[in-house]
Chain A
Amino acid sequence: MIAPDPDIPPADAALAQRMTQAAPGTDTEAEAELCRRLAPRVRLYGLRHLGNEAAAADLMQQVMLTMIERLRAGALREPERLASFVFGICRMAVLDLRRGQARRHRLLEVYGEALAPPEAPPPPDLDHTRLAHCLERLPERERTVLLLTFYDDTCAETLARELGLSPVNVRVIRHRGLERLRACLTGEPR
């Protein structure tokens, strides 16, 4: 069972509070920091639901623009609810992106560069030579399952059918392989 974390998100909420208390558009430092913290989460949501990096980047920009616009307008009454506020924007934005680009273009026309969020940091990357070395050290079955899983983000049910295994077995092999791979990459003993 997954529960929302009951803690109040202090850093995000404090930044949101700073923005809502300042005159609109004056606390650009808080805006930039909030974007820096939240943009990667929006990118992940975008990758998961839109399936590619370009669409996720579009989503990130649209959500950050909308968030800043609404925070400047005082639309968030309870800063501790920032996460669900942004999540809501994100879900709507995915629907928007699927419908078209109209709202994003309108926002950009109205606010232009004044509202443009700072460039999000590039997503982290791995040393592929080291990753290949770690993959080679995996037992064959784990390597195959990881490669086939992530080549095309294939779920356990599908992969199980393709490999003549049970879905539970695929999940176990996948989990074990990932643990070994992470340990190899970080140098941690398993």
Chain B
Amino acid sequence: MNGQSCRSPLGWETLIAYWLGELDPAAEKRVEEHYFGCNPCSQRLEQLETLARGVRAVARRSGVDMVVNDQFVSRVREQGLRVREYRVPPDGAVNCTVAPEDDLVVGRLEAPLAGVKRLDMLTVDGNGNIRARQSDIPFVAENGAVVFAPGIARLRALPATVFRLRLLAVDGEGERVLGDYTFDHTPYSSQSPQ
């Protein structure tokens, strides 16, 4: 229908499943037949597409802090974007920077994740004060690492700074530090660490 209401609107979950190709062919065809004749549902699908395009754009320009995974980093590289990667062992430190041509900077925080139920990540400043806590971050225990990509604009704006990330395993019995990861950041210069 083309008025401002629809008697049997397509739900968001159906629209998302359609958009991501999760529906079987028959259900997909029903969705398409519906939105071709339905202004409100086609507008909702357009809202979803706009949102998806926006989220993709934010991710592509590394506009927010993100916990990602290896597959994401591979896709970024496959698309010809430049990734700067730092691998940090538990309680390790690394000299780091961001070059003008970098599209994404990732820190690979290695940690013993076997048996961990919930993982939190803390941001700790140079004085040991906790600045932020990200609770229940996604991880795959077998990978033995968390892949963290800080927002690149914020990173570029940083002066020479030392900051630390801390991974905590959390369960019913309390919290356990899995590792501290120190990033000694300097603004880019031609002598910056690679």
Contacts and interface: CB of A to CB of B under 8 A. Distances in A.
Interface stretch (B15-23, B157-165, B167-175): B15-23
Interface string A15-55: 00000000000000000000001101100110110000000
Nearest to B57: A128
B2 A141 contact: no
B147 to A, nearest CB: 10
Interface string A169-181: 0010011001101
Kindly name the residue among B2, B22, B52 whose own CB sees the greatest number of chain A CB atoms within 10 A. Answer: B2
A119 interface: no
A123 B20 contact: no
B3 to A, nearest CB: 7
A24 B2 CA distance: 25
A4 B20 CA distance: 21
B60 A86 contact: no
B138 A141 contact: yes
A189 interface: no
Interface stretch (B29-37, B82-90, B93-101): B29-37
A131 B37 contact: no
A136 B19 contact: no
Contact of B68 (A10, A125, A148, A150): A148
Given A144-B138, A164-B139, A171-B13, A131 B31 contact: no
B55 interface: yes
**Which of B41, B42, B60, B137 has its CB near the most chain A CB atoms (within 10 A)?**
B42
Nearest to A186: B47
Interface of B is mostly: helix
B106 interface: no
A9 B38 CA distance: 7
Chain A contact patch, size range: 35 or more
B14 interface: yes
A125 B6 contact: no
A7 B3 contact: yes
Contacts of B50: 123-126
Nearest to B63: A132
Contact of A2 (B27, B57, B60): B27
B37 to A, nearest CB: 3
Interface centre among B12, B22, B32, B38 (most CB of A within 10 A): B32
Interface of B: 1-3, 6-8, 10, 12-14, 16-22, 27, 30-39, 41-42, 45-47, 49-60, 63-69, 71-72, 75, 121, 134-142, 151
Interface of A: 2-13, 37-38, 40-41, 44-45, 47-48, 82-84, 86-87, 90, 123-126, 128, 131-132, 135-136, 139-141, 143-157, 162-165, 171, 174-175, 178-179, 181-182, 185
The 5 closest A-B pairs by CB, nearest first: A83-B37, A7-B1, A126-B54, A164-B140, A150-B55
